Structure 1
Amino acid sequence: MELRGKRVLVIGMGRAGVAAAKLLETKEVRVTITDQREKKELREAFKGLEGRKIGIEIGGHPLELLEDTELIVASPGVSPNIPLLKRAKEKRIPIIGELELASFFLKVPIVAVTGTNGKTTTTTLIGKILKKEGKIVAVAGNIGYPLSSCIDKDYELIVSEVSSFQLERIKTFHPFISIMLNIAPDHLDRYRDLNEYIGVKNKIFVNQKRSDFAILNRDDPHCRTLSLKAKKFFFSREELELEEGVYLKKEMIMANLFGRSQEVIPRKEIGIKGLHNLENALAVTTACLILKVGIDSIRRGLREFKGIPHRMEFIRKVKGVRFVNDSKATNVSSVMKSLASFPEPIILIAGGRDKGLDYSPLCPLVKERVRALVLLGEAKEKIAQVFFSIRRIKMAEDMKEAVNIAFKLAEEGDCVLLSPACSSYDMFKDFEERGEAFKEAVRKLK
């Protein structure tokens, strides 16, 4: 797409929006960026745009911004239902996302990772293994480093985490390898139902060709039945020997790819623990073998990687009570996997902004593994209604109070687990800020 000289409007001044605006300016585009927040909330964005020939409109999205606009780049977090985008659709102004914009200019292969849970862990670990192999790789996308920041750099390959919000607005985005880790209900405050959410996730495959690869979770009913143009490789943890794929057999990760069968690593040697992380490790192994990474580099990476912050992150033990930060668990499926990973009784800290999810599937695990719940945030009353009859519940006004209550409820040998099942935006900037608040409160315990 030829953009030089065109008028382009970028909506949203988060990391992705600012990166998109800066990229457009370097391509001699007449660009304006807008955000409904006020300047005091946008200090980082203004710092990033300093000295640039970029128009800035804050405090709202006036419809006048659409005059002479030839293209809109909407940040992932921007709802498709805001009046500005509705009016743009009426005027038939093309609307794309930052991911799509970046893909216009990228000239290197992309490994794209999506799924409801496990994206960041999988993306990060693939990137680490490739870098240890000596490849010049960017780990980007929905992970804090926008794809637009990768343009005109000397990367050989991009490994990108891709969210459903980013996939909504793609048209030509074309990964060489697409990975679908799993599908579970999420973001039902944004999508009409699960089918719409699944449809958006599946867009990761639409532009792939027969020469590309799709890596799919054989144990997930949705992934198992996908019909795709790309060459499909499955992974499975269910002791299912695959003709082509990576799987678990008698506690050993095995790979059958490109006519070669080989042992990869014993499960017990993988650095990240839990069933969900076993699936992530299987997906990582599949991708790295497709990319012709040496088996020794894969083994070393799987052994050495201990996980990412805010995902099953051990903080400290206080008077015999373990504290674990799982702030990234923003949906029910993720919390289920977390609860299933602990042998000891749990004091669960949950709540935040509701995403339209049904919390009742958690009941069996809560009954089996959770001693008490401490709830906070906008969704606390809704969550309490689900669990009040099976477990003791306490309410908290902020994270510090939640941690203090949980510590008082805990007994020696218990685990206090922050695993919210909700987004963080009611009380925090993002899940990272929520996790840091938890860690700070835990550090102050005596």
Structure 2
Amino acid sequence: MNTVAATKNIVVIGLGMTGLSVVKHLVKKADGATIRVIDTRTNPPGAEQLPANVALHAGGWNMEWLLTADQIVASPGVALATPELRAASEQGIEIVGDIELFARDVSKPVIGITGSNGKSTVTSLVGEMAKADGVNVGVGGNIGFAALDMLANDHDLYVLELSSFQLETTSSLDMVAAVFLNLSEDHMDRYDGMEDYRQAKLRIFEQTQLAVWNHDDLQTKAQTSVKAISFGFAEGDYTLTRRDGEEWLTANGEQVMAVSEIALVGRHNVANCLAAMALADAAGISRNAQRAAMREYTGLPHRCQQVIKHDGVLWVNDSKATNPASTLAALDGLQLAGKLHLLVGGDGKGAEFSSLKPVLDKLDVALYCYGRDGHAFTALVAEPIVVETMQQAMDIAAETSKEGDMVLLSPACASFDQFPNFMVRGDTFAGYAREITARHSEESISG
């Protein structure tokens, strides 16, 4: 049944990349349907790209449109608990998201990845494994391309990063494999506690043929009757074993490759490789292609990305660390000859940051607290450096850092108080790091 074509009156909530992909899909699939868009922003991005026959209501809600709709397609950024959507739901109106529309139209195998941290890395790594095996793969969802836009390319395999927000409005994906990587505090401004957040993530296992969970984080364990396997450092179907004094990635007892051969940096990325192998095996990706990808894939921009080394000071962009657990992963096992200049702050999303204190206590650290929720970090060290903006923190770090030091942007917060997204924040950090180090070079020459 083509549920899109059978729906006469469709309202899309939210524009931007995802909203535009939804409109494009609906215009193509829903012959004769009336398609309208609501965006509470006064000047929503992408408004100028809407077809002439798609009406837009901007700057607020239009309850008449909502309550007369046959179907509502909601942006992941709009919570189902929003009073306006709750009113529509109480009228029996179907509310779905772009991933649900994708699920109803896709005809090729799908792999899904969710988790509080690491999902973008695992999604990209599995995509690289598929490419290395010659597979025509589409990689997107909550990362890169909108899922619906990828359908036009008729890929042979789709690898989707799926946020808890997207999973809330998705019910009919039929994935060959799905993983729940880990669970840590995030989005507490949207969910009614950790269990509510966890249940949103666990929805991924209701729509897969194989559930992959993290043996080192029992909160990710599948609670369905589908086949389940696990990964973990000490236990699991995909785990670590030792050979000739080295750790090896091991799949169902088969030693695949030495951990030292992985291009990705950090202990958390060893776990990510184990998870990626499990998913790749489920999709039939060859072991040689998996090895090749793990040896070559160096990671995503804005995730522990080295920007520049100047006068012995290393500047590192970890802007993708948008919650405390992600910053903890960046700090785990960090060894420096000098001091760590750590930049934290932004939009804390209601999170609690005390979990950072034990690891900070072990480091020689200067903690720079900036942005709207920078004050939430000040109790973590004895002498915090409080500033308004990230650039102000960088100026101080540039003046005080010495050879052997590291300046690390790993904010543990979202960017929305000062930047449109974490990518712009990371690009700003990288650009300004190059600018101020070049300026210092000129000053030293002129001096």
State TM-score, norm by structure 2.
0.92
**Number of residue pairs matched?**
428
1:370–1:60 distance in 2 versus 1, CA, 3 Å: farther
Q: Name the CA distance, whole Å, in 1 between partners of 2:364 and 2:317.
A: 16
Distance apart, 1:104 and its partner CA:
1.0
The answer on 1:229 being equivalent to 2:225 is yes
Letter in 1 for 2:20: V
Aligned to 1:191: 191
- Any conservation in 1 of the 2:132–2:292 contact (CA below 8 Å)? no
State the secondary structure of the residue aligned to 1:2: coil
22, 39, 48: which is aligned to 2:24?
22
Q: Which amino acid aligns with 1:164?
A: S
Q: Does 1:322 align with 2:289?
A: no
Change (3 A) 1:70 1:245: same
1:124-203, aligned counterparts within 5 Å? 124-203=124-203
> Could you tell me which of 247, 262, 267 is aligned with 2:240?
247
Q: Does 1:340 align with 2:332?
A: yes
Q: Deviations over 1:144-171 (max 9, x none)?
A: 3111112243211100000011111122
CA distance in 2, matches of 1:299, 1:219: 23
Q: Which runs of 4 or more aligned residues in structure 1 lie more than 6 Å from their structure 2 counterparts after TM superposition?
A: none
CA contact (8 A) 1:346 1:417 kept: yes
Q: CA deviation at 1:382?
A: 1.9
- Structure 2 counterpart of 1:11, one-letter code: I
| Aligned position for 2:12 | 10
- CA drift of 1:248 comes to 4.1
1:402 alignment counterpart = 393
1:369 aligned counterpart, secondary structure: coil
Pick from 278, 282, 285: which aligns with 1:293?
A: 285
The aligned runs of 1:374-385 (5 Å cut-off) are 374-384=368-378
Q: Give the corresponding residue for 2:210.
A: 213
- The CA distance in 1 between the partners of 2:191 and 2:400, in whole Å, is 37
Gaps of 5+ in 1: none
Residues 368 and 387, structure 2, Cα contact 8 Å, conserved in 1: yes
Q: Does 1:349 align with 2:351?
A: no
* Partner Cα separation in structure 1 for residue 321 and residue 267 of structure 2: 15
Query: Does the CA-based 8 Å contact 1:246-1:286 persist in structure 2?
Result: no
Q: How does 1:63-82 map to 2 (within 5 A)?
A: 63-82=63-82
Looking at structure 2, the residues matched to 119 and 64 of structure 1 have their Cα atoms a distance apart, in angstroms, of 38
Structure 1 pair 59/227, CA: closer, same or farther in 2 (3 Å)? closer
Q: What are the ranges of 5 or more consecutive residues in structure 2 without an aligned counterpart?
A: 441-447
Q: CA contact under 8 A between 2:394 and 2:433: conserved in structure 1? A: yes
* 2:36 maps to which of 11, 23, 32: 32
State the partner residue of 1:271. Answer: 263
Change (3 A) 1:56 1:440: same
Letter in 2 for 1:409: T
Q: Relative to structure 1, is the Cα distance of residues 46 and 406 closer, same or farther in structure 2, using a 3 angstrom cutoff?
A: same
What residue identity is the alignment partner of 1:420? P
Between the aligned partners of 2:25 and 2:312, the Cα distance in structure 1 is 51
User: 1:163, 1:233 → 2: CA distance?
Assistant: 21
1:413 deviates by: 0.6
